């Protein structure tokens, strides 16, 4: 009964530009200094591990002591977001950070996402770095991997990105 399809004139909005936030010089030190002075004992370790490994916050909160091979400096992530296991090579700094954590539970960082989220919001306010999201630490790590000279396949195997398109923005 209609002469034309009314949906032919519907235009979808353009997708938003991907976020490209990087840490500015001195911001990591400022975050760590403030995190060390806070009541959140795991925040400094979580920040360093996020920047050193490129792991998602949920992945960091899931890792268990049994997933860590200290001698080989590797973390084994099980059942990640894309359903696959992956192995994260650890820098000497990241391996040392894990070594320095006192084992109080099966998980290396025995806290939950809500506690981390709250601690992060307080940390952002204290440091005045209001435009930084937790997930930006993963972006920072991924960019640093490329700056180290790692190849696209190497970075993808560490970060778990499934397509080159997702990685090309770094």
How far is Cα 114 from Cα 166, in angstroms, rounded to an integer?
27
- pLDDT of the residue at 13: 87
Dihedral Cα 149, 54, 126, 23, nearest 10 deg? 20
Please give the radius of gyration of the chain, using alpha carbons only, rounded to the nearest integer.
19
**Mean pLDDT score of the chain:** 92
- Are 113 and 58 within 8 A, CB to CB? yes
Q: Contact at 8 Å (CB) between 140 and 148? A: no
What is the predicted pLDDT for the residue at 38? Answer: 85
What pTM was computed for the model?
Answer: 0.86
Cα distance between residue 120 and residue 109, in whole Å = 15
The predicted structure's pLDDT at residue 170: 66
Active site residues: 56, 81, 135, 138, 161, 170
Give per-residue pLDDT as tens, 13-56.
Answer: 887 777 778 999 999 999 999 999 987 889 999 999 999 999 99
DSSP H or E run through 45? helix 43-53
The better pLDDT of the pair 97, 2 is held by 97
What does the alpha-carbon distance between residue 92 and residue 144 come to, in Å, rounded to a whole number?
15
Judge whether residue 7 has pLDDT over 90.
no
> Which pLDDT value is given to residue 131?
92
Q: How far is Cα 170 from Cα 144, in angstroms, rounded to an integer?
A: 9
At residue 127, the pLDDT reads 95
Instruction: State yes or no: pLDDT of 8 exceeds 70.
Output: yes
Q: Between these two residues, 65 and 17, which has the higher pLDDT value?
A: 65
In the block, tokens 């977001």 appear at 81
């Amino acid at each position: 009964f209609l002469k034309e399809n009314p949906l032919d004139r519907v235009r979808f909005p353009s997708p938003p530009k991907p976020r490209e936030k990087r840490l500015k010089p001195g911001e990591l030190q400022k975050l760590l200094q403030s995190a060390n002075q806070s009541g959140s004992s795991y925040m400094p370790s979580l920040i360093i591990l996020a920047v050193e490994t490129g792991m998602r916050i949920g992945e960091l909160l899931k890792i268990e002591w049994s997933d860590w091979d200290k001698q080989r400096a590797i973390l084994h992530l099980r059942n990640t977001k894309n359903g696959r296991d992956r192995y994260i090579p650890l820098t000497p700094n990241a391996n040392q950070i894990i070594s320095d954590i006192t084992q109080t539970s099966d998980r290396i960082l025995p806290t939950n996402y809500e506690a981390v989220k709250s601690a992060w919001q307080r940390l952002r306010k204290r440091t005045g770095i209001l435009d930084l999201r937790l997930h930006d630490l993963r972006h920072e790590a991924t960019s640093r991997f490329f700056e180290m000279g790692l190849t696209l396949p190497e970075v993808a195997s560490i970060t778990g990105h499934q397509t080159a398109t997702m990685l090309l923005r770094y």
